A = this chain, B = another copy of it.
Amino acid sequence: MNASIAIQVLPKVETDSEVCRIVDQVIAHIEQTGLSYYVGSFETTVEGEFEELMELIKECQYIAVKSGCPSVMSYVKISFKPEGGILTIDQKVSKHHR
């Protein structure tokens, strides 16, 4: 594993319930990749190989649009360490969720 990303997708729709419905579709897409992921309050973190994560960022935008919003604004963090050995979600989060 040489990368992790965090992604927040903000569909341009009017109601909070519509935002949630579309974000849930994006998260469902992330889940079906089989990658390790973690849903937070503003963003979802995913870890894996760099190239597949870059592809996933792109797919998430298409999923949002296909789910019914005319435009989307996304906020993405990318952590990339080609030699591997980045901090895992588990290393960063687990001790705080006991």
Contact = CB atoms under 8 A, between A and B. Distances in A.
A6 B75 CA distance: 10
Interface secondary structure of A, over-half rule: mixed
A35 interface: no
Interface in A40-98: 40-43, 45, 50-51, 54, 57-58, 61, 65, 70-83, 86-87, 89, 92-93, 96-97
23 contacts: A4-B41, A6-B42, A10-B10, A16-B87, A38-B40, A39-B96, A40-B40, A40-B43, A40-B93, A41-B89, A41-B92, A42-B45, A42-B77, A50-B61, A54-B61, A65-B82, A70-B83, A72-B78, A72-B79, A72-B81, A74-B78, A75-B77, A75-B78
